[in-house]
């Protein structure tokens, strides 16, 4: 582990993690709204927002899957130092990080069980941009309807049809974050 992995975490963990937690929960409670997350500098290719989500929601009991380019020594060492979260296979993870293409197929991630729907994965998808246009979203946290450019409409329709099982999603780009819980209907 090099000294670079020791840097980039929260400088004031109590205050910054509380602020970040509020932003992350606001994003999930109000799908297709964009929130700014700052105060962390994870190693590339992990975005600032993905790094903040990781620092805020993951700890030594949170199995993480890293997909594609995100699965590199610099990111693994940074996660180990700042959270202690174990790196695992996609089928065993609570959180997965990567681009949409790297996270495919979605069927490998746990969607929970009828007894424990909370034992599903949350995917943190690195996007080239977050656009509030495209697919029409309805459901809890959306007054009438919202719009968001999802990578694959049919994948999110299939996911919503499994409710209360299914995957939850965070979308990150730079220091920006949006979310799409499994309860959101996409058309």
Structural domain including 113 reads 12-186
Q: How does residue 8 score in pLDDT terms, banded at 50, 70 and 90?
A: confident
Q: Which helix (H) or strand (E) holds 21?
A: helix 13-29
Answer whether residue 116 is part of any domain: yes
CATH number at 21 reads 3.40.50.11310
pLDDT of residue 3: 61
Q: In this structure, are residues 32 and 156 in contact, taking their beta carbons and an 8 Å threshold?
A: no
Answer whether residue 1 is part of any domain: no
Please give the Cα distance from 164 to 130 (Å, whole number): 26
pLDDT of residue 7: 80
pLDDT of residue 4: 63
pLDDT of residue 11: 87
pLDDT of residue 98: 98
Cβ-Cβ contacts under 8 Å for 103 (sequence gap 6 or more): 67, 68, 96, 109, 123, 125
Cβ-Cβ contacts under 8 Å for 151 (sequence gap 6 or more): 100, 125, 127
Long-range (24+ apart) CB contacts under 8 A made by 85-94 are 85/54, 85/58, 85/59, 85/60, 86/60, 86/62, 87/63, 88/63, 88/64, 89/65, 90/65, 90/121, 92/63, 92/65, 93/63, 93/64, 93/65, 93/121, 94/58, 94/62, 94/63, 94/64, 94/121, 94/122
Answer whether residue 79 is part of any domain: yes
Answer whether residue 120 is part of any domain: yes
Please compute the mean of the pLDDT values over residues 67-87 and round it to a whole number.
96
Task: Note the pLDDT tens digit of each residue in 82-135.
Answer: 999 999 999 999 999 999 999 999 999 999 999 999 999 999 999 999 999 999
95-99 and 122-126 strand pairing = parallel
Question: What crossing angle do the helices spanning 48-57 and 73-82 adopt, rounded to 10°?
Answer: 40
Q: How does residue 5 score in pLDDT terms, banded at 50, 70 and 90?
A: low
Task: Note the pLDDT tens digit of each residue in 128-172.
Answer: 999 999 999 999 999 999 999 999 999 999 999 999 999 999 999
- % pLDDT > 90, the chain: 93
Cβ-Cβ contacts under 8 Å for 185 (sequence gap 6 or more): 137, 138, 139, 157, 160
Total number of domains constituting the chain? 1
Answer whether residue 2 is part of any domain: no
Answer whether residue 83 is part of any domain: yes
Q: Is the pTM of this model over 0.85?
A: yes
- Cis before 112 (ω within 30): no
pLDDT of residue 13 exceeding 90, the answer is: no
How high does pLDDT run on average in the chain? 95
Answer whether residue 3 is part of any domain: no
Answer whether residue 5 is part of any domain: no
pLDDT of residue 2 exceeding 70, the answer is: no
């Amino acid at each position: 582990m090099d000294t670079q992995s020791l840097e980039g975490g929260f400088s004031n963990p109590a205050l910054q993690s509380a602020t970040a937690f509020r932003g992350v929960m606001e994003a999930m409670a109000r799908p297709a709204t964009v929130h700014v997350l700052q105060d962390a500098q994870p190693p590339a290719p992990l975005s600032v927002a993905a790094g903040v989500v990781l620092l805020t929601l993951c700890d030594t009991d949170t199995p993480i899957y890293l997909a594609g380019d995100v699965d590199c020594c610099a990111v693994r060492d940074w996660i180990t130092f700042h959270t202690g979260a174990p790196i695992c296979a996609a089928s065993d993870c609570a959180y997965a990080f990567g681009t949409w293409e790297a996270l495919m197929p979605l069927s490998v991630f746990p969607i929970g069980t009828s007894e424990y729907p909370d034992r599903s994965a949350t995917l943190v998808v690195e996007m080239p941009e977050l656009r509030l246009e495209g697919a029409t979203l309805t459901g809890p946290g959306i007054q009438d309807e919202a719009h968001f450019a999802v990578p694959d409409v049919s994948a999110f329709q299939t996911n919503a049809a499994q409710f209360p099982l299914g995957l939850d999603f965070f979308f990150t780009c730079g220091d920006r974050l949006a979310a799409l819980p499994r309860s959101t209907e996409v058309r």
